[in-house]
Structure 1
Amino acid sequence: MDDRPRFRLSIRCPDQHGIVSRIATAIADSEGWITEAAQHTDEEAGWFFMRWVFSLPVAAEPALRQRLETLAGELGMDWWLAAADTRARVVLMASREPHCLSDLLARWSAGELAMDIPAILSNHRDLEPLAACHGIPFEHIPVPKTGREAAFQQLQTRLRQLAPDTIVLARYMQILPPGLCAEYPERILNIHHSFLPSFVGARPYHQAFARGVKLIGATCHYVTDELDAGPIIEQDVTRIRHDEGVQDLIRKGRDVERWVLARGLRYHLEGRVLTHGNKTIVFN
């Protein structure tokens, strides 16, 4: 069995002849052993996307990076090479509802999510006991109606100190300011409790009930400065009967939110998500 370190390579570039061959040759010449390969061509956009996992001698990594940098110039290629088994630093943020946070913590405790959690941040203290049960530092940063700008400056400063690879809004019920969103592009994940682009904003279950929908859903997406409009990573739905009220929709929706956020975060942590404009390619 190959016990050398595993690496993960993701690329995106304009589609053209010979991309796979040239990347494979670069890895083979570095004594790499490919164990997982996925690629996709967006024929309408004319773009190519790829995610490969391979083992490699440690000493060969610098030369491979140099080779990839040369190919990037020749192919117009964006590329990311990372150690496949490195655990990401993930800051979790939540407000008062515990279902998404508790689900992520349970999966983390069970070893399903390869991440380290330096802190849980919240604008309320309701979830502090949940954090304590898992031995994770809990930090309360209130966001009052007056003084929101100062509160978000404090939040942004604390996040810089924590140096997260990823931030997860596990029902953090505040709209992040544009400057904070811009500081962590494609690194802030949110769970929105509707099947976007339907029912953007507040009280989506109430909106869905008023509209008389037969399906409700949840959406995990990257956060941008446009509310609930970032690239979508994962979605799911559940069926609604005509005799179910708003509280039934909320109860059913919470289950979907848990599943969708957990899957979306896992795809992100495993480097399975590539973006192109406002779309995503998810090698799940």
Structure 2
Amino acid sequence: MTHPEYILTISCLDQRGIVHRVSGFLADHGCNIIDSAQFGDAQSKLFFMRVHFASEDTAISDEVLRADFALLGASLNMDWQLHDAAQKPRVLLMVSKIGHCLNDLLFRYKSGLLPVEIPAIVSNHTDFYQLAASYNIPFHHLPLAAGASEEAKLAQEARILEIVEHNQIDLVVLARYMQILSPSMCAALKGRAINIHHSFLPSFKGAKPYYQAHDRGVKLIGATAHFVTSDLDEGPIIEQGVERVDHSMGPETLTAIGRDIESVVLARAVKWFTEHRILLNGHKTVIFN
């Protein structure tokens, strides 16, 4: 008999006995811990925990498990979530005219390496509608002209949020979507939108970062996946990657290498999010690998 599995994530003020009380609760409710990780941050004074467990007592329903844990969570003032481990998160992909990250994520999804559902792709261009069709994924073309008015931008974003709500999206991935989201859009997607920045933040922001890097003669280039916030490219960092380069490589070579890094870094960040391994810690993240 296969027992239902869950992933519990917790953050709260650090104090004695949290692990004991959580593990005791699970044992008392007929649950068997499969793996567990925890971290106490001395700076923020917060405690973080991720527990993967199986519910082995058929007499205890999902509703009872959640209701009872809510009492424990309230007693410790916890920010907690209980996820059904068998449920695949629903992901919306957004892209503009550069498709390497989109293509990589779709391949990982199709091959089973990324356990998600992708009910929609949104783009402000039509370049990848055929790619979406090859995966039988609805493609939504929502154009936004250069220099569009604030009213037009907000109307386009409202349509995106309608797609998010209609498809019950858990995560929005900006897979090289080259539009700045409005503060209201960032607020609506807080904690569930990930961007890939084509540079190793905080250096070389803006246009053509690999050309900037080449002009500076850098020896490492990289990419950064982070949560989207209204502070452009300043959201909590989830994952970063670098590759060593040298003087013989031109900006086109750096760009090609950089795109490979971007694809891998973004895929890691998405996978960690869908496995509920990322917890926010102020302007930083805790990643339970």
Tell me the TM-score normalized by structure 2. 0.93
Please tell me whether residue 196 in structure 1 is matched to residue 195 in structure 2.
Answer: no
Q: In 1, are the aligned partners of 2:144 and 2:156 still within 8 Å (CA)?
A: no
C-alpha separation between the residues in 2 aligned to 1:71 and 1:192? Answer: 39
SS of the residue corresponding to residue 202 of structure 2 reads coil
How far apart, in 1, do the equivalents of 2:9 and 2:156 lie?
34
Specify the alignment match of 2:221 in structure 1.
216
Letter in 1 for 2:54: S
Q: Which amino acid aligns with 2:17?
A: G
Q: Which segment is superposed worse, 204-213 or 260-269? A: 204-213
Task: Quote the Cα distance in structure 2 between the aligned partners of 1:233 and 1:106.
Answer: 22
Tell me which of 179, 182, 198 is aligned to 1:177: 182
> What SS does the corresponding residue of 1:68 show, helix, strand or coil?
helix
Residues in 1 aligned to 2:235 and 2:208: alpha-carbon distance in whole angstroms:
19
**Distance (whole Å) between structure 2 residues aligned to residue 240 and residue 212 of structure 1:** 9
Q: Contact 1:12–1:48 (CA<8 Å) still a contact in 2?
A: yes
Match for residue 237 of structure 1? Answer: 242
Give the match's secondary structure for 2:30: coil
Q: Which runs of 5+ in 2 are unaligned?
A: none
> 2-side partners of 1:159 and 1:46: how far apart?
35
Match of 1:254 in 2: 259
Report the 3-state secondary structure (helix = DSSP H, G, I; strand = E; otherwise coil) of the residue aligned with 1:4: coil
Residues of 1 paired with 2:260 and 2:217: CA distance? 20
Instruction: Kindly provide the amino acid, as one letter, of the partner of residue 34 in structure 2.
Output: T
Q: How does 1:1-284 map to 2 (within 5 A)?
A: 3-56=2-55, 57=57, 59-149=60-150, 150-160=152-162, 161-284=166-289
| Alpha-carbon separation, structure 1, partners of 2:251 and 2:113 | 32
Segment of structure 1 superposing worse, 208-217 or 173-182: 208-217
Q: How many correspondences in the alignment?
A: 283
Give the deviation of 1:162 after TM superposition. 3.1
State percent identity of aligned pairs. 48
Cα deviations across residues 189-236 of structure 1 (Å, max 9, x unaligned)? 111111111122332212222222110100111100011010111111
DSSP-derived class of the 2:265 partner:
helix
Amino acid aligned to 1:281: V
- Secondary structure of 2:86's match? coil
Letter in 2 for 1:268: F
Q: 1:53-102 CA distances to partner (integer Å, 9 max, x unpaired)?
A: 11114633333323322222322211111101101111100011111101
- Using the alignment, how far apart are the partners of 1:116 and 1:233 within structure 2? 21
Match for 2:173: what amino acid?
Answer: V
CA-CA distance at 1:148 after TM superposition: 4.5
Q: Secondary structure at the match of 2:90?
A: strand
For residues 155-206 of structure 1, the C-alpha deviation after alignment (integer angstroms, 9 at most, x for no partner) is: 3334323331110010111111111110011101111111111122332212
Q: CA deviation at 1:108?
A: 0.3
**Range moving further from structure 2, 63-72 or 98-107:** 63-72
SS in 2 for 1:80: strand
Larger CA deviation: 104-113 vs 63-72: 63-72
User: What is the distance in 2 between the residues matched to 1:267 and 1:147?
Assistant: 35
Instruction: Name the Cα RMSD after superposition.
Output: 1.5
Gaps of 5+ in 1: none
